[in-house]
Amino acid sequence: MHQARTTCPYCGVGCGVRADIEDGRLHGVEGDGDHPANYGRLCVKGSALAETLGSHGRLTRPRVDGVEVDWDTALDAVAERLQATRDTAGEGALAAYLSGQLLTEDYYVANKLFKGFLGTPHLDTNSRLCMASAVAAYKRALGADAVPCSYEDLEEAELVVLVGSNLAWNHPVLYQRLRTAKMRNPLMRVVVIDPRVTDTCEIADLYLGLRPGSDARLFNGLLAWMADKGRLDRLYLERHTQGVEAALAAAREDDAAVEAIAADCDLDPERLETFFYWFASQLHVVTLYSQGINQSSSGTDKCQAIINCHLAGGKIGLPGAGPFSITGQPNAMGGREVGGLANQLAAHMDYDSPGAIDRVTRFWATETLVPTLPEGPGHKAVELFEAIERGEVRALWVMATNPAVSLPDADRVRAALAKCPLVIVSECMADTDLLPYADIVLPASSWSEKDGTVTNSERRISRQRGLLPPPGEARHDWWIVCEVARRLGYGEAFAYEHPAEIFVEHARLSGFENDGNRIFDISALAELDREAYDALAPVQWPVTRAAPRGTTRLFEDGRFATADGLARLMPVRPRGPAQALGESRPLRLNTGRVRDQWHTMTRTARAPRLMNHRAEPFVEITPEDAATFGVGDQQLARLTGAGGEYRGRVRLTKGQRRGEVFVPMHWTDRFSGAARAGRLLAAHLDPISGQPETKHGAVALAALEVGWEATLLMASDDASGGEFEGRDDGAYWARIPLAHCQRWQLARGKPGEPRDWLAWVQRWLPTAPTLWCDDPAGGRLRAAGLEDGRLRWWLMVAPPAELPGLAWLDERFAESSRGQPLTADRRRRLLAGCDAGEADAGPLVCSCHQVGQKAIVEAIQAGDTSVEALGARLACGTQCGSCLPELKSLIEDTAGADPEEEDDHARAEQAPKAVHVA
Ligand SMILES: Nc1nc2c(c(=O)[nH]1)N[C@H]1C(S)=C(S)[C@@H](COP(=O)(O)OP(=O)(O)OC[C@H]3O[C@@H](n4cnc5c(=O)[nH]c(N)nc54)[C@H](O)[C@@H]3O)O[C@H]1N2
Ligand SMILES: Nc1nc2c(c(=O)[nH]1)N[C@H]1C(S)=C(S)[C@@H](COP(=O)(O)OP(=O)(O)OC[C@H]3O[C@@H](n4cnc5c(=O)[nH]c(N)nc54)[C@H](O)[C@@H]3O)O[C@H]1N2
Ligand code: SF4
Ligand SMILES: [Mo]
């Protein structure tokens, strides 16, 4: 057994991981105590990494037109077809769509090939759906896409404002760091600004549950308030910025009275003014913002409104201060560094940066090529698919992202993909919603196999190391790109033998004719040899001769990356969501993430314990709205939006605002019949960044009327999914992988219709029922199929609330797959689904130690009314800590329930501490 060090492939925190390797297998992971992003911590997704590996379900052979081929044939086909498209339709017909989950080296060569050698500007990335507005605002305000802060600034701040970020679920390790810092510093305050009460509110001193989309009004209001109360840092503004007067004038175009702002944002004026006062009276303020700000048709302005307030108060370039855009994907930042957005060229140079086209042309030595470098920006993600729809773009290469799911108006995207004459997909997994649209499928290596670098949210470059060989014929993304480049005749420019060589070239370009003009400069790393690259310790850019050990904080001298060194405050005029509510679609749709899943679930759904926290697609809504729309808790509902329908299970929550619903972004056609959030959203874009408005849809809600519901468990080798998978049959199904079987949650028929389930079910069960217990009058059935005494399937027709805990049954499937027949006693208990006297654990709360809600509630009732006491008794919450907020709210609900308090909003909005406004 040996331990290797690498980096987690999920979120932008970029945690260091130590992996135990033995006999060519990865046995387990733990947090790397020396990595400055996490100092040994990992969240539940990171700690489950070992469970998501294995060659099962992986793509292992290239495919051309549906036929498995060898690599030479596949690479020849890619090169020939790209060349043919370029010959007939011009270079502008070629496009690539990349991802913040590629490594920097993959990204660099793809960008170099498409923009530099194929001569097309149409190379964009899924970061367009994620970071584009944050990037645009940083560039406009600070002169460069440069996150000023570090994680330690969150710990050193006196006030941390979390805007549109559910940090507890989406950047859990950073959240834990903040939580610990807050415990150590009782003076630190945390404000959460989010229309939803999330687990992040656990550490909030003040929660502002604002009207969706009203953030710019709120921060404009703050700017005006600071000016009115004499809280601007006049000296800082004068020396280091320009534009404050215009920004203030724009902010004052709306009524600047606190009451008026509060009314527009639907907030309590006293609480709002408390926030204003806290912000204005502290110098050490970090405002951390994420998709609640970015995923908006006015996201750039919202980011700017936040940055304006920081500049106006001089709260930037100091320890514990700054506007901190947190990145989502592990290498969204690295993609921005190489120029992976369609409006960028390379290494933080845009097409309109003075001399950039000429400089990059010389660096890549593409002077003699026809065509040479593109002259201006290409299509941004949503526009790219519109260009495909119009037939202008005719060849698309997608790497490490799933536009058939994650783009808004996703069915239209699917139609465009279906029409596109050449779709090439580089992917690790064998079964995704995108692959059916691919003419050429290229199997890529994945985390633990890939070798290169990623950059996290605080500009820290870390090595992700290749520890295991890829399964089958899967190959590294950078290698695939270079092989295609060679076949197109560009072999010399792509003759890399190792990612170290690519990284060094990227580092050289960052310093090439830089002269201090581009803040992204890692030229001190351009000398790394392969050994030094392999050993590279995490380091924050810029890394230059002047700062060889990296840079913790930017703009400490008050000089910004603009030509005159001054930061820009900009006038912001608040705009509401572009997707309008109306009679036919009266509810505001919010979409986002859940704690234990990653995006389209291709990896996280492979770890059964990560499926338990939220097993099915859902719709969160207040009890009042549910009553109005005639849907009940745990019943099925349908949402109708701009591009189609979404079906999921209702979860009543008091943390939601009235008139709003929340759905997860994760489910695809692989996991449910109609549960793609992207179908509900219209594609409205920010005019500057091109980022789509995926947080503010408009939907109608109705109950999904069904005749009966069932749960079917099938042995994993029977569960091909053939009957449902990929199909929307108008009813409801969801697939939930368990450790040793597949669970299908089904609903069919019409209320009052004769229950035809036996006939319906038997059609596709692998064997006839061996045991059954029928209650037609009650509409209930339990049945099981055995073969040679081994369990093949188990069925219960009943509402899922009646399900026994499934761990016992899953264990019986495990025995059966080992060839062990059921004991007579267990056979008798089979329809009950548990051993005599065994209790069901209830919904899973702690994924690490698999502790269910029932045990926790019982322990609380028995007197364990603190998270520490629960941890001591049940071990829940003692490993990664991701469930601590949930434990706390269970304690509040069970032990501390105050009957006067009617909802979570009321609880989160407890009256603020006394406010003294100077
Ligand atoms: N578990 C998990 N973690 C992840 C990911 C994952 O898939 N799963 N993905 C990673 C990626 S790529 C990203 S980009 C990040 C995203 O991280 P976050 O931005 O934290 O995630 P979201 O859940 O998309 O949205 C954040 C919050 O914005 C709120 N919001 C909605 N509308 C508004 C509004 O108008 N104003 C304000 N102020 N808030 C609003 C939502 O209610 C939600 O709680 O997470 C990363 N981490
Ligand atoms: N409604 C709604 N939509 C959203 C969002 C939202 O909040 N709401 N958030 C948006 C945001 S912020 C983001 S970042 C996107 C994310 O959306 P996507 O990028 O579409 O989602 P992923 O599931 O991460 O897709 C990555 C794919 O690449 C594969 N893959 C993983 N590693 C590799 C690799 O190394 N090489 C290759 N070739 N393939 C690999 C995975 O198996 C997976 O199929 O979704 C966006 N869409
Ligand atoms: S917080 Fe969790 S998902 Fe994010 S990098 Fe760390 S371990 Fe991975
Ligand atoms: Mo993202």
Distance CA 280, CA 287 (A): 13
Q: Alpha carbon of 538 to those of 231, 464, 547: distances in Å?
A: 39, 10, 14
What spacing in Å lies between the alpha carbon of 327 and ligand 4's midpoint? Answer: 7
Q: Reduce the DSSP state of residue 181 to 3 states and report it.
A: helix
Distance (angstroms) between ligand 2 centre and the Cα of 398 equals 11
Kind of pairing between the strands at 708-715 and 741-748? antiparallel
Which residues lie closer than 8 Å to 521 by C-beta, 6 or more apart?
510, 511, 514, 541, 542, 543, 544
**Which ligand gives the minimal distance to the CA of 460?**
3
- For residue 898, pLDDT beyond 60: no
Residue of 196, 402, 432, 693 best suited for mutating to test ligand 2, as the one with most atoms within 8 Å of CB: 402
pLDDT of residue 757: 67
**Stretch 109-128: mean pLDDT, rounded?**
98
- The answer to whether the CB of 452 is under 6 A from ligand 1 is no
Distance (Å, whole) CA 808 – CA 838:
9
Report the distance separating Cα 834 and Cα 832, nearest Å: 6
Beta strands, E only, 533-586: 539-540, 567-568
Domains of the chain by residue range: 2-52, 63-129+331-497, 132-325, 587-828, 844-907
Amino acid at 82: L
SS3 715: strand
d(CA 98, ligand 2 centre) in Å:
10
pLDDT at 837: 58
**Which amino acid appears at position 247 of this protein?**
A
pLDDT tens per residue, range 652-662? 999 999 999 99
More confident residue, 788 or 16: 16
> pLDDT at residue 576 above 50?
yes
Fold of 2-52: Phosphorylase Kinase; domain 1 (3.30.200)
Position 261, amino acid: I
Cα gap 846→48, rounded to integer Å: 13
Average pLDDT value over all residues in the chain: 92
Looking at the chain, the whole-number percentage of residues with pLDDT higher than 90 is 77
pLDDT at 472: 96
The one-character DSSP state at 718 is T
Pairing of strands 732-737, 741-748: antiparallel
Nearest atom, ligand 1, residue 212 CA: 35
In the chain the first and final C-alpha atoms are separated, in Å, by 63
The residue behind tokens 């600034």 is 153
pLDDT of 840 strictly over 90:
no
Q: What is the pLDDT of residues 587-617, one digit of tens each?
A: 999 999 999 999 999 999 888 888 888 999 9
Strand partners, 672: 734
Q: How many whole angstroms from 408 Cα to the centroid of ligand 4?
A: 14
Whose alpha carbon is nearest atom 17 of ligand 2? 406
Secondary-structure percent of the chain, ordered helix, strand, coil, rounded to 5: 35, 20, 45
pLDDT digits 0-9 by tens, 343-385: 999 999 999 999 999 999 999 999 888 878 999 999 999 999 9
- Compute the distance between CA of residue 171 and CA of residue 164 in angstroms, rounded to an integer: 13
Tell me the average pLDDT across 295-322. 98
Task: Tell me, using a 6 A CB cutoff, whether residue 575 lines ligand 1.
Answer: no
How do residues 317-348 score in pLDDT, each as one tens digit? 999 999 999 999 999 999 999 999 999 999 99
DSSP code, position 201: G
> Exposure of 438 by Cβ count < 10 A (0-12 exposed, 13-18 middle, 19+ buried)?
buried
Cα(101) to ligand 2 centroid in Å equals 8
pLDDT at 507: 98
Distance of alpha carbon 86 from alpha carbon 915, whole angstroms = 66
The residue among 101, 710, 104, 164 whose CA lies nearest residue 447 is 101
pTM: 0.94
For atom 4 of ligand 2, which residue has the closest CA?
Answer: 406
How many A from CA of 251 to the centre of ligand 4? 30
List ligand 3's pocket residues with C-beta within 6 A.
8, 10-11, 13-15, 38, 42-43, 45-46, 171-173
Question: Which of these, 67, 54, 59, 63, lies nearest to 27 by C-alpha position?
Answer: 54
What 3-state DSSP class applies to 531? Answer: helix
Minimal CA–CA distance to 710: which of 752, 747, 736, 674?
747
In whole angstroms, what is the distance from residue 399 CA to residue 95 CA? 11
- Counting from 1 in the atom list of ligand 2, the atom nearest the Cα of 432 is 44
CB atoms within 10 A of CB 556: 13
Nearest alpha carbon, ligand 2 atom 25: 401
Residues 540, 458: contact at Cβ < 8 Å?
yes
Give the ligand with the smallest distance to the CA of 881: 3
- C-alpha distances out from residue 656 to 295, 395, 841, Å: 19, 43, 27
- Domain 63-129+331-497 CATH class label: alpha beta
Ligand (nearest to CA of 328): 1
What DSSP character marks residue 488? I
Which one of 3.90.1300.10, 1.10.1740.110, 1.10.10.1100, 1.10.3720.10 gives the CATH number of domain 844-907?
A: 1.10.10.1100
Q: Is the CB of 195 under 6 A from ligand 1?
A: yes
Ligand 1 binding pocket mutation candidate from 8, 10, 11 (most atoms within 8 A of CB): 11
Pocket lining for ligand 2, CB < 6 angstroms: 99, 101, 126, 129-130, 291, 295, 328-329, 399-402, 405-406, 426-429, 432, 444, 446, 450, 477, 591-592, 599-600, 602, 665, 677-678, 681, 694
* Residue 678 alpha carbon, nearest atom of ligand 2: 1
Is 625's C-beta closer than 6 angstroms to any atom of ligand 1? no
Pocket test for ligand 1, best of 174, 176, 194, 200 (most atoms within 8 A of CB): 194
**What class has domain 587-828?**
mainly beta
- Strand 697-703 and strand 587-592: the pairing is antiparallel
Look at the alpha carbons of 724, 50, 845, 830 in this order and tell me if their dihedral is positive or negative: positive
pLDDT tens-place string over residues 440-488? 999 999 999 999 999 999 999 999 999 999 999 999 999 999 999 999 9
What does the pLDDT look like over 140-151, one tens digit per residue? 999 999 999 999
Angle, to 10 degrees, between the axis of helix 269-281 and the axis of helix 258-265? 110
Which region holds residue 515: left if phi is over 0, alpha if psi is between -120 and 50, else beta? left
Q: Which of 433, 579, 600 to mutate to test the pocket of ligand 2 (most atoms within 8 A of CB)?
A: 600
pLDDT at 911: 38
- Spatial separation of the C-alpha atoms in residues 358 and 373, rounded to whole Å: 9
Q: Find the length of the chain.
A: 918
The 8 Å CB, 24+ separation contacts for 277-281 are 277/915, 277/916, 277/917, 277/918, 278/159, 278/189, 278/191, 278/206, 279/159, 279/161, 279/222, 279/226, 279/309, 279/313, 280/222, 280/225, 280/226, 280/229, 280/231, 280/313, 281/231, 281/918
Provide the CATH number for the domain formed by 132-325 in this structure. 3.40.228.10
Tokens coding 409 = 């108006």
Q: Which residue has the higher pLDDT, 82 or 907?
A: 82
CA 832 to CA 822: how far, in whole Å?
A: 14
Whole-angstrom distance, CA of residue 601 vs CA of residue 610: 10
Atom number in ligand 1 closest to CA 193: 38
Per-residue pLDDT band for 918 (boundaries 50, 70, 90) equals very low
Cα–ligand 3 centroid distance for 866 (angstroms): 26
> CA–CA separation, 103 vs 501, rounded Å?
14
Dig out the tokens for 275 from the structure.
């926030």
The torsion of the CA quartet 21, 22, 23, 24, rounded to 10 degrees, works out to: 0
Ligand 3 centre to CA of 26 (Å) is 18
The residue ranking higher by pLDDT, 839 or 60, is: 60
Provide the pLDDT for residue 272. 98
Ligand 1 atom 17: the closest Cα is on which residue?
Answer: 170
Whether residue 886 has pLDDT greater than 90: no
Q: What is the pLDDT of residue 754?
A: 65
Residue with tokens 């999914």: 721
What is the pLDDT, as a whole number, of residue 850?
A: 81
Rounded to whole angstroms, how far apart are CA atoms 689 and 609?
38
Number of helices followed by number of strands (H, E) in the chain: 31, 36
Looking at ligand 1, which residue's alpha carbon is closest to its atom 36? 292
Pairing assessment for the beta strands 636-641 and 644-652 based on DSSP bridges: antiparallel
CA–CA separation, 159 vs 318, rounded Å?
13
Shortest-distance Cα residue to atom 23 of ligand 2: 600
pLDDT digits (tens, 9 = 90+) for 154-200: 999 999 999 999 999 999 999 999 999 999 999 999 999 999 999 99
Residue by residue, DSSP assigns 810-844 as HHHHHHHHTTPPPPHHHHHHTTTTS-TTPPP--SE
Q: Whose CA is nearest to atom 37 of ligand 2?
A: 400
- What pLDDT score was predicted for residue 915? 34
Alpha-carbon torsion, ordered 21, 27, 33, 36, to 10 deg: 80
Which pLDDT value is given to residue 848? 80
